[in-house]
Structures are given as C-alpha cells and as structure tokens.
Structure 1
Amino acid sequence: MAEKKQSKFSDMLGKLETGLITVLLGGMTIVVFLQVFFRFVVKGSLPWSEELARYLMVWAVFIGASIGAREGAHIGVEAVVNVLPKRLKRGSIVVSGLLSVIFSIVVMVLSFQVIAVLVSTGQKSPAMQMPMYWAYLAIPVGSIFMAIRFFQAMVEKFQAPRGEG
C-alpha cells in the first residue's frame, strides 16, 4: 500500500515536472522567436524578452535538475562504486543518496533566506519590473523536487533485492 501511494505521488510529481518543463521551454522558445522576429522583421525590439527568457531558463534548469534526479542522470563516480564489494556498494549508494538529499535541503533553506531578503527589499527586475523573488523561487522549488527525487531513489536502491544493490 505504501509503495502504491509513493508510486502515485511519484507519478503526480512526474506529471507536474513534465508539464512545467514543457511550458517553460515552450514559453522560452516563443519569447526568443518573438524577439528575433521583432528585431529583424519589425526593426524594433522587445525590452522585456531577454529578461523573461532568462528567468524561464532558470526555472527550466531547476525543474530539469529534478527530472535528472528522477532519471538517475546526475553525475556520479561509478568507476569507484563498481569495484566495491556488494555490501559496500549498497552502503555507498545510500550514503550518496543521503548526501544528495541533505545538499538539496541546504540549498532550499539558503535560497529561502535569499528570497526573504528580496521580499523585504522589494527588489524588482529591470525590464519587466517583476518582483525578483519570482525568479529566485525556482531554486527552492527545484531543490524540494530534487530532495524528494533523491530520497525516492535512495529508498528504491535500499529496498532493491540484495543482488541488484
């Protein structure tokens, strides 16, 4: 039952990640296309387009990092892990997962501190006059998603049959 709930939660999170990354990359593509069109065809420019494309890319990077964690695509030193005995190999995978979760949580906490400063100072983006905390919210949101994904991967590895470890 718990596995089914985790699977359902994981599926929901996966759909959210996929939907967000689709909207973000699609939006970024449209904004950049519009800027190119306006610059070369209309002979004018959109002052906000570069800024919006940059913030959409920042969000896409952090959501994409969560997808990378889900897919096991983050960098690792497999050459060292592969030569370890099975028992140590399993332990190193759990330790690696735990360190990844801790790192994601630390990044999340620190980024919320930065966002608190941005909210208190009322800093706005230069071209769009958008509150800057919206751009910086990508960091804790992506970090939360990554922490969840790293934790899920660690649990899956730990629960795997001994031979698969």
Structure 2
Amino acid sequence: MPALLALLAPFQFFNDHVLRVGRWIAVVCIALMVVFILIQVFFRYVLNNALPWPDEAARFMMLWMTGLIAPSAYRRGGFVAIDMIERALPVSINRLLTLALLALSLMVLLVAVQHGNKHITSGCLFKTSTLWLPFKFEFNVPLWPTNLDLTLCTRQNWTFGFEWGWQKMPRAVVFASLYVGVILLIVVNIELILRQVIALLGGSGRLRSFDDPNLQNSGG
C-alpha cells in the first residue's frame, strides 16, 4: 500500500496543479469565444459587414477550452455516463468493473495520442485562413519510453526554435488543443486506475476528495 500511494502522489500532484491552470485558461478561452461571437454578430447584423476572422477565432478558442477542461471533468466524474449497473453492484465488483473500464479507456487514449502526434507533425504544412501569429515557434521533445514526440512543426529531436515575424497560424496549433487534452486525459486515467487499485486493496480511506486538494483524506 505505501508503494502504491507513493506512486500515486506524483500523478496527483501533477493533476492538482496543471489541471487548475488548464481550467483558468479554459475560462479565458470561453470568455474570448463569446466576445468574438458578439463582435461578429454586431458587424454582420448591425453594420451588414461580416468580418472574416471571428468565426475561426471562436472555433480555435472552443477547441482549446475543450482540450483543457475535459481532463478536469474526467477526473471528477463529470462526463455523461449510464451508471445504473454500477450502482446496483456490490462495492468490490463495482470497483473491479470501473478498473476494467479505465483500462479500456487507457488503451483508446493511447491510440488517440498516436493519431494526434501525426496531426501535429503534418499540421504545419497547412495554415489557418484568417488567424495570424507575430512569431514562429517550433519544438520537439521525445516522450520516453514511447516512440512518440511532444512536437510542433518539426521532427528534429530536442529542438526549440523561436523567431519574430508575422505569419498565418499553422493548423498544428489548432490540432494541438485536442492532442494536449488527450495527453492530460492519459495522466488523469493513470491516476484513476491507481486510486481504484488502492481502493480495492482497502485503502479508500487514505484517498482524498478531488473537490479540494487541501482537504484531509476522505473516502475514495
């Protein structure tokens, strides 16, 4: 049990802090999305002169909001689910079923991150229609022990490049929203698996609630 709790700790720490930052960024994204939509409504229906960029900018913010808020929702059980069978089962069988579903979800997410990696790599070949950036940024960090890379616009290992100058935003920046979201979902999924294993071994009383990272230990 102490070994499992020690293994759980870094995942819990990462998710407590990184997902909190993600939630705040998601709030900013949804606020900007509303602003962009209102700007477009004003120009289209009041001035009869629709702008070319608000629609694409709003979609961009929506995707990043989704990628950053979905892991927090998953961690707290906020996804839509049919749980009648789980509620009807004994606690131990319920936890075994949940563990099996989490393992299945992890396999799906691992496949998704491979596809996301390919999209990020090829996404710099195409540009958005109306969105511009005042700089060019590319990087590549190998994700050991997998054969994947955390990358943007390059395949050269351990690359970090930054250059000022206006250019149309690569679609890889848009694709990166869901790629980042899937990576965060994987980290959350591993944490949830560890929590279920600890609970199955009788350690649910040593698992704290997700509602407040500063709360004392509570039931799993």
**TM-score bucket (shorter structure):** 0.7 to 0.9
* 1:153 alignment counterpart: 192
More helix by share: 1
- Render the CA deviation track for 1:110-158: whole Å, top value 9, x for unaligned: 1111222223xx2112233421111111121000111112222222232
More strand by share: 2
User: 1:130 and 1:34 mapped to 2: Cα distance?
Assistant: 21
Q: Is the 8 A contact 1:101 1:148 kept in 2?
A: no
Secondary structure of the equivalent of 1:130?
strand
Q: 1:67 to 1:138 in 2, by over 3 A?
A: same
User: 2:196 and 2:178 mapped to 1: Cα distance?
Assistant: 26
Identify which of structures 1 and 2 has the higher relative contact order when contacts are C-alpha pairs closer than 8 Å and 6+ apart: 1
How many pairs align? 163
Secondary structure of the equivalent of 1:126?
strand
Q: Is the 8 A contact 1:62 1:139 kept in 2?
A: yes
User: 1:43 and 1:71 mapped to 2: Cα distance?
Assistant: 44
Secondary structure of the equivalent of 2:195?
helix
State the 1:6 CA deviation: 4.2
Deviates more, 1:24-33 or 1:68-77: 68-77
User: 2:83 and 2:50 mapped to 1: Cα distance?
Assistant: 48
Structure 1 residue runs of 4 or more that deviate by more than 6 Å after TM superposition: 162-165
Segments of 5+ residues of structure 1 without an aligned counterpart are: none
User: 1:106 and 1:6 mapped to 2: Cα distance?
Assistant: 21
Q: Does 1:35 align with 2:74?
A: no
* 2:49 alignment counterpart: 44
Give aligned-pair identity as a percent.
23
Letter in 2 for 1:62: G
* 1:91 alignment counterpart: 96
| Structure 1 residue corresponding to 2:108, chosen from 103, 108, 123 | 103
Q: TM-score, normalised by structure 1?
A: 0.84
Q: 1:9 to 1:115 in 2, by over 3 A?
A: closer
User: 2:92 and 2:20 mapped to 1: Cα distance?
Assistant: 35
User: 1:26 and 1:86 mapped to 2: Cα distance?
Assistant: 41
| Structure 2 residue corresponding to 1:11, chosen from 1, 11, 16 | 16
User: 1:124 and 1:91 mapped to 2: Cα distance?
Assistant: 46
Q: Does 1:124 align with 2:88?
A: no
